[in-house]
Amino acid sequence: MPDYKDLNSVAYIEPALAYASRLLGVDFKPTGKLRFRSYCPFHADTKDSFRVYVNGKDEIRFHCFGVCDNEWDIYDLIMITENCCFAEAQKRFADFLGIEDFTPRKE
């Protein structure tokens, strides 16, 4: 059974993009291998400064290079937009992936 770290790994990049797109109301465009861009949903963005990439630990990261100048993972985005805790964010993403009996990590 995958854990919360596994679900935020490169193996789940396509579902993470799909979930984030639906959650944030943005469309991601590819910019390279495992790299995507969009307009930041958190501010009036005119230069598509919102990026998705995989870091050196194979984790999916979302970063705004514009006004926000901040970085998130999929759980952060879920917590911010759906006003829930970390455990609930993990559960919601696992449910989206169709993973049954997922046990979230405690904060």
Domains (range + CATH), the chain: 4-97 (3.90.580.10)
What separation in angstroms does the CA of 30 have from each of 34, 45, 50, 51, 60?
8, 18, 12, 10, 14
Give the model's confidence band at 107: pLDDT under 50 very low, under 70 low, under 90 confident, else very high: low
| pTM greater than 0.85 | yes
CA dist 2 and 14 (Å) reads 16
Cα separation, 39 vs 55, whole angstroms: 20
Rounded distance between C-alpha atoms, residue 105 and residue 65, angstroms: 30
Q: Calculate mean pLDDT across residues 64-93.
A: 96
Closest to 38 in 3D by CA, of 55, 21, 22, 23: 21
Give the per-residue pLDDT at 104: 82
